[in-house]
Amino acid sequence: MANRSRRAPEDFVPRRLYRIHLELSAVVDFTGQQLPDGFEALDLRAQDLAATQEIGEAAQYLGREAIRAPSATGVGEILAVFIDRLQPDSVVEAGSYETWTAVP
């Protein structure tokens, strides 16, 4: 986020890190070694966000609850949840949080 906005990481603190309990059943998962058909050449970490935004729009249109993918930073993963597409048996529960006052 800091690189994309051309700001220093320190500009983003204080910040809260939330822990959320999730149980989802309709997730598009890009974290495995085998990407879904048609996505083998997709660069999920590209600076141009158009392709990833189109994937998000398509997933939401198709009724998927979330997209799981490698983080653009190359460290960790992201989970984008479409709250308006949650299945009746899905669970999204707020948990605890911690406040970061300095860059970890």
CA distance linking residue 64 with residue 81, whole number of Å:
9
The count of structural domains within the chain is: 1
Q: Name the DSSP class of 89.
A: T
Residues 90, 95, 98: CA angle, nearest 5 degrees: 145
pLDDT: which is higher, 64 or 6: 64
- Bridge-based pairing of strands 27-29 and 91-100 is unpaired
Q: Which residue range(s) make up the domain with 26?
A: 2-100
pLDDT in tens, 78-94: 899 999 999 999 999 99
Residue listed under structure tokens 């984008």: 80
pTM for the full predicted model: 0.71
